[in-house]
Amino acid sequence: MVKADAVFTTNTSTIPISELANATNRPEKFMGLHFVNPPVLIHFVEIIRGDRTSDESVATVVDFAKSIGFKYVVLKRDVPGFLINRLNARHWTEALRMFEEGLDIRDIDAAQRFRLGFPMGPFELLDFSGIDVGYLALSEMVKRGFSIKLPEVMKKMYEEKRWGMKTGMGFYKYPRPGAYVRPTILPSDRMYDLNPYRMIALVVNEAAWLLRNEIVTKDEVELAMKEAMQWPIGPLTWADRIGVDNVVSILKKRFEETGLDEYRPDPLLEEMVKEGKLGLKSGEGFFRWKYEKRDLGAVVYEKRHDHAVITINRPDKLNALNEAVWEGLRVALEEAEEDPDVRVAILTGSGRAFSAGNDIAVMSKWRTSMDAKAWNDKYATPLIDKDNRVQEALDNSSQRPRIRRRNGAEHPSGHCDSEQGGRVRDTRGSHRSLPTPNIVVWRAPRKQEDNKVCPHWGVAVGRPVQGAWSRRYSRLSRSARSNGG
């Protein structure tokens, strides 16, 4: 019925290609060409080899994808769920487990949208794509060897025909069957009471399995999730930003809590941790990043690709502010300010305290008020003047929000108490009575290509957290809190 050189393709998202190819007389001419729904909007395909697919057939299908203007990945081997559905399965299943634990779907969706920067939350997306479709796809993948425990809530909703928008009832209620109406989801304080990185960690773990088995490349993982699923950054870039060690910690904690093998960290991740390939904070993870470290004595300055971490390093003195600290902070902040790569500067303290305030030993040397003034003019005033200049720039720019966060004990020293506007503050983990911020962050105007690396940043201590605000980086006005591992 067709020419001898014709290539057969299937749009299946789950049925093994090799299994289908065996029904033909030309398995070398049979392969997968999975269009991601809706193809009129998402111009991306998965190209999947069967066990006997020829290189010539792959080249033909690649040329076809290019001819229609679609981006693509080529899976080197046929595995249940291919690439996108394997990663989606981990993502959505963890969201469902969080729901089964008692968390509200709106809070989970809000955390994913406003903290992580996704266009939709997992429950919005499941309702849109169809809970029946997701359940049946996962069931087929499990039958063919994909290791995952299906959440009971998904099975129950499938049996009750609560399939989402198509039936008018899913995780959300819709005006009528088939009505495309997005549920109202707004940011709230409750979205900070959950850890959205649980969902990211499972995806990273699955991606590591695919890489270790040479099914796809790192770049293909990133491309697939950004293009097909509209992730703001790829999962491997997420891992490098969160810290590969933190990803492993999340997985181990979940394994201890559940005993499920799907939470065992992939050997590739554990090897990366052992080798110190942790991501931005080490200069290399899944990818290489710009990294510099300077020991300024009582202050340590680290450039982590597009942001700086400045650490007061006197843990034995609870990071009390002496001359070396004030001078080190000035030098570090100037370096961050002058570096065009640095969009965010984060100030924190080593050990269990942020800062105990001015060092008593220094203050005891002041005999008169003039001594105090002379010391202040030499050490504190230059830094405070810089702080004021930065604040003035912030007041005149919506692109450079300033963020402060407390991460431990802090003395209410006058020099540290500054509650000026336009700053995001995080008090979680702090131990003091006055609401003094202690992490100062500013961001230079973003370049167009920055979206590839760092979309709307929030604040963390050594664990950058995606922020909850617009892609235009308007001035922030709510607290950002870190739950990241």
Q: Is there a contact between 66 and 59 (Cβ–Cβ < 8 Å)?
A: no
Whether the pLDDT of residue 100 is over 80: the answer is: yes
114 vs 349: CA distance, rounded Å: 28
Q: What is the DSSP letter of 71?
A: E
Query: Of 464 and 125, which is predicted with more confidence?
Result: 125
Q: How confident is the model at residue 314 (pLDDT cuts 50, 70, 90)?
A: very high
pLDDT at 390: 60
pLDDT at 367: 87
Pairing of strands 307-312, 8-10: unpaired
Q: How confident is the model at residue 391 (pLDDT cuts 50, 70, 90)?
A: low
CB atoms within 10 A of CB 7: 21
Counting DSSP H helices and E strands in the chain, the numbers are 16, 12
Cβ-in-10-Å burial (0-12, 13-18, 19+) of 195 comes to middle
Q: How confident is the model at residue 392 (pLDDT cuts 50, 70, 90)?
A: low
pLDDT at 448: 39
Where is average pLDDT lowest: 205-219, 359-373, 407-421?
Answer: 407-421
The kind and range of the H/E element at 153 are helix 152-159
Burial 146-175 (b: 16+ CB within 10 A, else e): bebebbeebeebbeeebbbbbbbbbbbebe
Sign of CA dihedral 107, 108, 110, 114: positive
Q: How confident is the model at residue 458 (pLDDT cuts 50, 70, 90)?
A: very low
Where is average pLDDT lowest: 151-165, 372-386, 461-475?
Answer: 461-475
Alpha-carbon distances, residue 45 vs 13, 203, 278, 398, 461 (angstroms): 11, 19, 31, 39, 38
The kind and range of the H/E element at 21 are helix 17-21
134 vs 163: CA distance, rounded Å: 9
- CA R_g for the chain: 26
Whether the pLDDT of residue 445 is over 90: the answer is: no
Over the stretch 6-53, which tens digit does the pLDDT of each residue have?
Answer: 898 999 888 889 889 888 888 999 999 999 888 889 999 999 999 999
The topology (CATH level 3) of 291-452 is GMP Synthetase; Chain A, domain 3 (3.30.300)
35 vs 45: CA distance, rounded Å: 5
Where is average pLDDT lowest: 68-72, 363-367, 430-434?
Answer: 430-434
Whether the pLDDT of residue 364 is over 50: the answer is: yes
Per-residue pLDDT, averaged over 417-444, amounts to 37
Name the percent of the chain lying above pLDDT 70: 79
Q: How confident is the model at residue 456 (pLDDT cuts 50, 70, 90)?
A: very low
Q: How confident is the model at residue 396 (pLDDT cuts 50, 70, 90)?
A: low
Whether the pLDDT of residue 428 is over 70: the answer is: no
pLDDT at 376: 84
Over the stretch 286-312, which tens digit does the pLDDT of each residue have?
Answer: 999 999 999 999 999 999 998 889 999
The kind and range of the H/E element at 477 are none
**Domain boundary assignment for the chain:** 8-75, 84-274, 291-452
Q: Is there a contact between 291 and 305 (Cβ–Cβ < 8 Å)?
A: yes
Per-residue pLDDT, averaged over 116-142, amounts to 94
Q: Is there a contact between 59 and 37 (Cβ–Cβ < 8 Å)?
A: no
416 vs 419: CA distance, rounded Å: 9
CATH number of 8-75: 3.40.50.720
Q: How confident is the model at residue 429 (pLDDT cuts 50, 70, 90)?
A: very low
pLDDT at 382: 82
Where is average pLDDT lowest: 149-153, 189-193, 407-411?
Answer: 407-411
Q: How confident is the model at residue 438 (pLDDT cuts 50, 70, 90)?
A: very low
Whether the pLDDT of residue 121 is over 90: the answer is: yes
Cite the active site residues. Answer: 34
Closest C-alpha to 162, from 123, 106, 104, 199: 123
Nearest-10 crossing angle of helices 323-338, 381-395: 30
59 vs 56: CA distance, rounded Å: 5
Query: Of 369 and 161, which is predicted with more confidence?
Result: 161
196 vs 98: CA distance, rounded Å: 10
Nearest-10 crossing angle of helices 235-242, 244-258: 100
Q: E-assigned strands of 250-343?
A: 291-295, 299-304, 307-312
Name the percent of the chain lying above pLDDT 90: 58
Q: How confident is the model at residue 381 (pLDDT cuts 50, 70, 90)?
A: confident
- Computed over every residue of the chain, the mean pLDDT equals 82
Q: Is there a contact between 170 and 458 (Cβ–Cβ < 8 Å)?
A: no
Over the stretch 229-287, which tens digit does the pLDDT of each residue have?
Answer: 999 999 999 999 999 999 999 999 999 999 999 999 999 999 999 999 999 999 999 99
Q: How confident is the model at residue 336 (pLDDT cuts 50, 70, 90)?
A: confident
Write the class of the CATH domain 84-274: mainly alpha
132 vs 428: CA distance, rounded Å: 40
Pairing of strands 353-355, 409-410: parallel
Q: In what order do the strands lie in the sheet with 299-304?
A: 291-295, 299-304, 307-312, 344-349
Residues 6+ apart with CB under 8 A from 147: 261, 262
Dihedral pair phi/psi, residue 269, rounded to 5°? -65, -45
Cβ-in-10-Å burial (0-12, 13-18, 19+) of 189 comes to exposed
